[in-house]
Amino acid sequence: MNLTTSINSQIFGTVQCPGDKSISQRALMIGALINQEMTIDGFLHGEDPLSTMNALNQIGAGISVDENGLVHLCKRKNIFQSCDEPLDLGNSGTGLRLMLGLTSGIGLNLSFCGDDSLSSRPMSRVINPLTEMGASIESSNGKLPISILPTSLKKQYTYELPVASAQVKSSILLAGLASGTGVEIIEPIQTRDHTERMLRNFGANIEIASEGSKNIIQLAPSNNLSAKNYTVVGDISSAAFLIVAALISNSQGLEIKNVGMNPSRVGVLLALQKMGADIKVRNQRLESGEPCADLKITQSILKGVELSGDIIPNIIDEIPIISIAAAFAEGETVIRDAAELRVKESDRLKAVSDGFSRLGVAHENFEDGMSIMGSPNTLLIEQPISIESHEDHRIAMSFLIAGLRCSKPITVKDCKNIFTSFPDFIELISSIGYKLEK
């Protein structure tokens, strides 16, 4: 599916932020493990969370969705069971890494597969600590296909993350929770803490402390979790596309409601505000243990900045759309310490660079980042052009947003991947004044 942009669009109105993909998947896994009646509201019905739901149902979770989109988890006689057919996680790196931890902790005989993109992504950074815990995991040089055999994990396990990663941390915590293993995780800097917040919300015995720049998470071996209905806050990574759209376009102002404001996720707002973005935060509150708020965005004159160091792990998913903002900012933006982007759904640094080359945006690509020479002017394109999505949802959406400041329509190829994380993207962006044509 190719999508073509329109020109001279104005962004305005009020929208509800779609549910957080990462939180939706964690709520499914932890809710299924609790094994009590529970309802999840605000769930993101994207391909990634649905892949995780299907995988959990394959091992007996019994998760259902009603006509209103509410997700229901039931109390089951048989907790979980091994499965002969591979669990297909599609394109979901979060689903695969966290499911490896959960099912290793439960002690099941399973195999995992995924699409071509997921099959090319490295999983050793999860496999290695899980193996140290006592899991029996076989893989194809650290990639899919992956199989696990039933084993008993250690009674106590300590792991210091060599590289900050919320997915690795969460995989180990879920393995510990499912097996009754006491876990201590030391991360070099704090990463996304959705798993810790959710575990605490359901009554887990988990403690978090800081020592210098390091963050230490301790999960007790004994936990008595209690189910309660859960509301998923909006995904700030999805909101980022709408925010940049309002900042760079001829916008009359945009309000986005129910945006997740987890301190480990708001780096994208800090980065954009550093660039001069007019973003106002209103109605701050807690929802199921997660902070959220409403955002008011006004068209802004942006300036180039340097982004590196501690902020990078907390904006890693948003760097493609931040790069689009940088392309329409005054002066140079330099992004460093982002080598992890090379092993996402695509090599995102190369994918952004390829798109910029097509648009004529001056830039330089580094091994761990890039520099972008921006201009606040509309990009003058002599004729309509096409840009490859590289089968990556964030690349596809980023360059569709860039089309707001192009003099001719641009076509982004192979946009079906958008449905993995933002299933209503086309309808939502249309509702605020930006038409996309299939």
Q: Which of 48, 294, 317, 424 is catalytic?
A: 317
Two structure tokens written together for 179: 């097996």
**Of all helices (H) and strands (E), which one includes residue 215?**
strand 214-219
How crowded is the C-beta side of 205, counted as CA atoms within 13 Å? Answer: 10
The DSSP bridge pattern shows strands 230-231 and 38-41 to be parallel
Helix then strand then coil, in percent of the chain rounded to 5, is: 35, 25, 40
C-beta neighbour count of 431 within 10 angstroms: 12
Query: pLDDT, tens digit, for every residue of 154-209?
Result: 999 999 999 889 999 999 999 999 999 999 999 998 889 999 999 999 999 999 99
Between CA 225 and CA 205 the distance in angstroms is 9
Between CA 167 and CA 22 the distance in angstroms is 10
Between CA 58 and CA 139 the distance in angstroms is 21
- 53 burial level (CB within 10 Å; 0-12, 13-18, 19+): buried
Helix (H, G, I), strand (E, B) or coil at 290: strand
**Residue 54: C-alpha distances to residues 168, 174, 216, 309, 386 (Å):** 22, 18, 33, 37, 35
**Residue segments in the chain with a per-residue pLDDT below the cut of 70:** none
Question: Scanning the structure block, which residue is given the tokens 């695509």?
Answer: 346
The pLDDT of residue 252: 85
Between CA 223 and CA 436 the distance in angstroms is 49
Q: What is the pTM of this model?
A: 0.91
Q: Which segments of 214-362 does DSSP mark as H helices, in order?
A: 236-248, 267-274, 319-327, 348-359
Residue of 88, 83, 135, 91 whose CA lies nearest to 113: 88
**Of all helices (H) and strands (E), which one includes residue 195?**
helix 194-201
The pLDDT of residue 412: 98
The pLDDT of residue 430: 96
Domain ranges of the chain: 3-19+233-431, 21-221
Between CA 427 and CA 283 the distance in angstroms is 26
317 is catalytic: yes
Two structure tokens written together for 166: 């919320």
Query: pLDDT, tens digit, for every residue of 96-129?
Result: 999 999 999 999 999 999 999 899 999 999 999 9
What CATH fold (topology level) applies to the domain 21-221?
UDP-n-acetylglucosamine1-carboxyvinyl-transferase; Chain (3.65.10)
List all residues 6 or more positions away from 152 whose beta carbon is below 8 Å from its beta carbon: 107, 134, 179
Instruction: Tell me the CATH number for domain 3-19+233-431.
Output: 3.65.10.10
The pLDDT of residue 228: 95
Residue of 40, 41, 50 whose CA lies nearest to 16: 41
Dihedrals φ, ψ of 49, to 5°?
A: -60, -35
Is 3-19+233-431's fold the same as 21-221's?
A: yes
The pLDDT of residue 310: 86
